[in-house]
């Protein structure tokens, strides 16, 4: 009965995203919602056919025509998504959005279909599958209102109301209807709430008119606060809007990506759950918001991190590398063996066992973001700093430990360059904060450790044969994480050793503008099978490094080539495959904040470079 496609799985790039700052939904080019956790990012799915086309559940609205073209776009400067169906017999437009609300329990999804040209017949099919398609459910209702109720411990209840007649068929609901030109049909799905007192007709009118206008205006007002006005403005704004979708209205935290188990290798085991708050990713996200002048999100994250620091009372306790959105600690990993996975890429995992890993780099990213917040967002309090100081002392005592690194390798711990680098950053920024605020911190001891780390990196992570800084101590493997060295201001972008490292990375890890994070076929190991694609975030790091080292024209060329790998809506996943296909969880926060950072730096460099050339031209005339 599925009306979606002859192909059971759409390319990952064929999706747009809508959301309400509590959860998101992925909407395919063909008008099907194939992924949605309800009512929170880390809640179980109600639609997950992207992970199992037969069992996962979906919510589709399509014209009943065999030959269709599809087009998808956002209303400018919003997260309101339009999907157009184009044929010789007529044109229809599907509008999808989720009203932004303060409470996640009031989660609402609004779908409106319009026959913009010609008379057209449509079919709606709503097939929810609760609790990651593990729970059965009951269906009851009337011609214009249906209630789906899961039969598990949560007993999640969803209300679907419609302006056209609905028909219960087994566990699903369908609607078959004809619209004359300019007519509309509306479908509103919401978490069943005792706070909803409107009639069906009044609810539909409210959500499709008042709430629609409020949602459009919310997003336009939000992005209007951005201070960025440079080149590639549309792409930067889309990345910012995407990052905002991945932040929690309720908690101030941010997810690394809103999906789980979309594979990095098709048919392989590299399938992870990213619906949690990584200290690293969230800190970088805050940095992106600070650069754009979006202070509200930075304040919210600082409140969230202060709350987490407040739970650490023992001197030997330290921050986890990731938390649940609400700050909960345990994120046990589990395999959903009943789901076949995207294009049979199994196992499908929820939870993430990496939460127990030691990753020392998180302190550098976090304290760097605190330093920038203190400098540009507003002064931090001494009470906050007192909560942070034990974490800095932890770095002083443990910076020499091997860990799992930024890439969360699942084999043996190592002394990774990037972890060592970020320990240096942690101490360097802590010293700067304490000095600028005259906090009574042990900066003399911190400075000694910082300088010891600096010398350790230069002596023990430089490989004379490779003429480059390498992935880990005594290794010969190159790693794109080294690109952070000049970005974190550890080393001058013109330092000979750095330029030699940049050349080595380009030689071994770069394919045109695409960058691998490391190459398992060149000696890198991570404890997993399969050869990955290129890591898009690393490609943007590479662009920024080129720009900082004075290779402005090359940086611009590579950056604009990278923009061409975005999907039709300007969205990026984590990786790109051999055919340029998007791989991994989607959309990926790290990729979009990398884009913003590269655009910001490259635009600044280009402006100075062009002004310099104009001045030279005037001198020669």
Same domain, 384 and 454: yes
Q: Residue 411 CB: number of other CB atoms within 10 A? A: 10
Contact by Cβ (8 Å): 347, 341:
yes
> What average pLDDT does range 255-284 have in this prediction?
93
Identify each DSSP E strand in 316-389 by its residue range.
322-323, 334-335, 349-350
Please, what's the b/e burial string for 44-68 (b: 16 or more CB within 10 A of its CB; e: otherwise)? bbbbbbbbbbebbbbbbbbbebeeb
Largest CA distance in the chain: 82
Same domain, 281 and 158: no
CA 562 to chain centre: 17
- With respect to residue 459, please indicate whether it lies within any of the assigned structural domains: yes
Burial of 149 (C-beta count, 10 Å sphere; 0-12/13-18/19+): middle
d(CA 457, CA 444): 20
Contact by Cβ (8 Å): 132, 339:
yes
Handedness of CA 187, 152, 275, 369 (dihedral sign): positive
Same domain, 187 and 237: no
Residue 380 DSSP class: P
Does 313 have pLDDT greater than 80? Answer: no
CA 196 to chain centre: 32
CA 569 to chain centre: 15
- With respect to residue 295, please indicate whether it lies within any of the assigned structural domains: yes
**Band of residue 418 on the pLDDT scale cut at 50, 70, 90:** very high
Percent of the chain having pLDDT more than 70? 94
> What average pLDDT does range 231-241 have in this prediction?
98
Same domain, 282 and 386: yes
> What average pLDDT does range 127-155 have in this prediction?
94
**Phi-psi group of 232: left, alpha or beta (phi > 0 → left; psi -120 to 50 → alpha; rest → beta):** left
Burial of 187 (C-beta count, 10 Å sphere; 0-12/13-18/19+): buried
Does 621 have pLDDT greater than 60? Answer: no
The structure tokens 């919310």 sit at: 218
What is each CA distance from 324 to 248, 309, 364, 591, in whole angstroms?
11, 14, 21, 21
Q: Provide the domain count of the chain.
A: 2
Same domain, 457 and 546: yes
Q: What is the pLDDT of residues 520-536, one digit of tens each?
A: 877 677 767 767 889 99
- With respect to residue 226, please indicate whether it lies within any of the assigned structural domains: no
Round the average pLDDT of the chain to a whole number and report it. 93
Same domain, 473 and 561: yes
**Band of residue 196 on the pLDDT scale cut at 50, 70, 90:** low
Same domain, 242 and 350: yes
**Band of residue 5 on the pLDDT scale cut at 50, 70, 90:** very low
**Band of residue 315 on the pLDDT scale cut at 50, 70, 90:** low
- With respect to residue 203, please indicate whether it lies within any of the assigned structural domains: no
Contact by Cβ (8 Å): 21, 40:
no
Same domain, 142 and 242: no
Three-class DSSP category at 347:
coil
Contact by Cβ (8 Å): 319, 308:
yes
545 forms beta bridges with: none
Same domain, 281 and 413: yes
Same domain, 475 and 556: yes
- With respect to residue 224, please indicate whether it lies within any of the assigned structural domains: no
Q: Between these two residues, 408 and 274, which has the higher pLDDT value?
A: 274
**Band of residue 320 on the pLDDT scale cut at 50, 70, 90:** confident
- With respect to residue 153, please indicate whether it lies within any of the assigned structural domains: yes
d(CA 397, CA 358): 14
Q: Between these two residues, 360 and 153, which has the higher pLDDT value?
A: 360
pLDDT of residue 608: 82
> What average pLDDT does range 255-262 have in this prediction?
97
Among 175, 195, 215, residue at a domain's last position: 195
**Domain of 39, in residue numbers:** 12-195
Residues written for the chain? 621
- With respect to residue 411, please indicate whether it lies within any of the assigned structural domains: yes
d(CA 126, CA 201): 20
**Band of residue 462 on the pLDDT scale cut at 50, 70, 90:** very high
- With respect to residue 110, please indicate whether it lies within any of the assigned structural domains: yes
CA 243 to chain centre: 6
- Do the strands 24-28 and 277-278 form a parallel or antiparallel pair, or are they unpaired? unpaired
Q: What is the pLDDT of residues 69-116, one digit of tens each?
A: 999 999 999 999 999 999 999 999 999 999 998 776 779 999 999 999
Does 374 have pLDDT greater than 60? Answer: yes
**Band of residue 497 on the pLDDT scale cut at 50, 70, 90:** very high
pLDDT of residue 317: 72
Does 164 have pLDDT greater than 80? Answer: yes
pLDDT of residue 611: 65
pLDDT of residue 461: 97
Among 195, 216, 242, residue at a domain's last position: 195
Contact by Cβ (8 Å): 391, 438:
no
Tell me the DSSP string of 40-109.
STTSPEEE-TTT-TTTS-EEEEEES-SS-EEEEEEPTTSS-EEEEEEETTEEEEEEEE----S-GGG-EE
CATH at 91: 2.70.98.40
Same domain, 191 and 321: no
**Band of residue 3 on the pLDDT scale cut at 50, 70, 90:** very low
Quick one: which of 248, 282, 233 has its CA closest to 593? 282
Reported as half-sphere exposure (CB side, CA atoms, 13 A), residue 248 has a value of: 26
Query: Which CB contacts under 8 angstroms, 24+ apart, belong to 196-202?
Result: 196/159, 200/144, 200/145, 200/161
Please, what's the b/e burial string for 490-529 (b: 16 or more CB within 10 A of its CB; e: otherwise)? bbebeeeebbebbebbeebbbeebbbbbbbeeeebebeee
d(CA 220, CA 230): 18
pLDDT of residue 329: 84
Q: What is the pLDDT of residues 571-597, one digit of tens each?
A: 999 999 999 999 999 999 999 999 999
pLDDT of residue 223: 98
What is the token pair recorded at 36? 């949605």
Same domain, 396 and 308: yes
CATH at 425: 1.50.10.10
pLDDT of residue 619: 61
Quick one: which of 283, 250, 304 has its CA closest to 42? 250
């Amino acid at each position: 009965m599925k009306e979606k496609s002859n192909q059971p799985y759409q390319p990952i790039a064929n999706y747009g995203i809508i959301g309400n700052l509590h959860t998101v939904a992925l909407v395919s080019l063909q008008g099907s919602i194939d992924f949605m956790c309800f009512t929170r990012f880390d809640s179980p799915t109600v639609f997950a056919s992207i992970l199992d086309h037969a069992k996962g559940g979906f919510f589709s609205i399509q014209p009943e025509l065999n030959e269709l073209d599809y087009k998808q776009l956002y209303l400018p400067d919003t997260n309101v998504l339009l999907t157009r169906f184009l044929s010789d017999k007529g044109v229809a437009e599907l509008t999808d959005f989720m009203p932004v609300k303060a409470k996640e329990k009031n989660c609402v999804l609004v779908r409106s279909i319009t026959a913009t040209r010609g008379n057209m017949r449509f079919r709606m099919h709503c097939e929810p599958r609760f609790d990651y398609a593990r729970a059965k459910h009951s269906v009851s209702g009337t011609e214009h209102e249906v209630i789906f109720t899961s039969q598990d411990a949560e007993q999640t209840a969803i209300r679907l109301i419609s302006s056209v007649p609905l028909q219960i068929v087994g566990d699903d609901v369908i609607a078959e209807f004809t619209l004359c030109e300019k007519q509309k049909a509306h479908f509103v799905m919401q978490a069943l709430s005792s706070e909803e007192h409107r009639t069906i007709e009044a609810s539909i009118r409210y959500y499709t008119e008042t709430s629609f206008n409020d949602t459009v205006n919310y997003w336009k007002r939000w992005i209007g606060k951005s201070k960025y006005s440079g080149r590639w403005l549309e792409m930067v704004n889309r990345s910012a809007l995407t990052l905002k979708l991945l932040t929690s209205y309720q908690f101030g935290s941010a997810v690394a990506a809103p999906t789980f188990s979309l594979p990095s290798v098709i048919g392989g085991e590299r399938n992870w759950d990213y619906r949690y708050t990584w200290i690293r990713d969230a800190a970088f996200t805050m940095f992106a918001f600070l650069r754009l002048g979006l202070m509200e999100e930075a304040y919210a994250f600082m409140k969230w991190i202060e709350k987490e620091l407040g739970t650490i009372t023992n001197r030997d306790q330290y921050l986890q590398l990731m938390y649940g959105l609400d700050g909960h600690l345990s994120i046990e990993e589990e395999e959903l063996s009943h789901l076949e996975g995207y294009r049979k890429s199994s196992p499908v995992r929820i939870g993430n066992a990496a939460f127990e890993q030691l990753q020392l780099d998180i302190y550098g990213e976090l304290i760097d973001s605190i330093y920038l917040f203190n400098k540009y967002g507003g002064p931090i309090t001494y009470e906050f700093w007192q909560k942070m100081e034990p974490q800095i002392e932890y770095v002083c005592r443990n910076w020499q430990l091997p860990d799992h690194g930024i890439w969360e390798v699942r084999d043996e711990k190592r002394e990774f360059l990037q972890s060592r680098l970020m320990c240096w950053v942690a101490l360097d920024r802590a010293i700067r904060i304490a000095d600028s605020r005259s906090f009574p911190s042990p900066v003399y001891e911190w400075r000694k450790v910082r300088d010891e780390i600096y010398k350790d990196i230069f002596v023990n992570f430089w490989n004379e044969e490779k003429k480059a800084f390498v992935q880990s101590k005594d290794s010969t493997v190159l790693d794109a994480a080294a690109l952070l060295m000049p970005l974190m201001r550890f080393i001058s972008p013109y330092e000979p050793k750095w330029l030699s490292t940049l050349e080595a990375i380009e030689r071994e890890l770069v394919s045109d503008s695409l960058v691998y994070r490391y190459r398992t076929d060149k000696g890198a190991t991570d404890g997993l099978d399969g050869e990955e694609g290129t890591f898009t975030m690393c490609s943007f790091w590479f662009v920024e490094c080129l720009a900082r080292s004075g290779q402005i024209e090359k940086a611009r060329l590579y950056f604009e080539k990278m923009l061409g790998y975005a999907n039709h809506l300007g969205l990026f996943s984590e990786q790109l495959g051999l055919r340029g296909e998007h791989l991994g969880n989607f959309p990926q926060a790290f990729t979009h904040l990398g884009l913003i950072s590269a655009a910001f730096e490259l635009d600044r460099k280009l402006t100075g470079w062009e002004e310099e050339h104009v001045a030279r031209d005037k001198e020669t005339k």
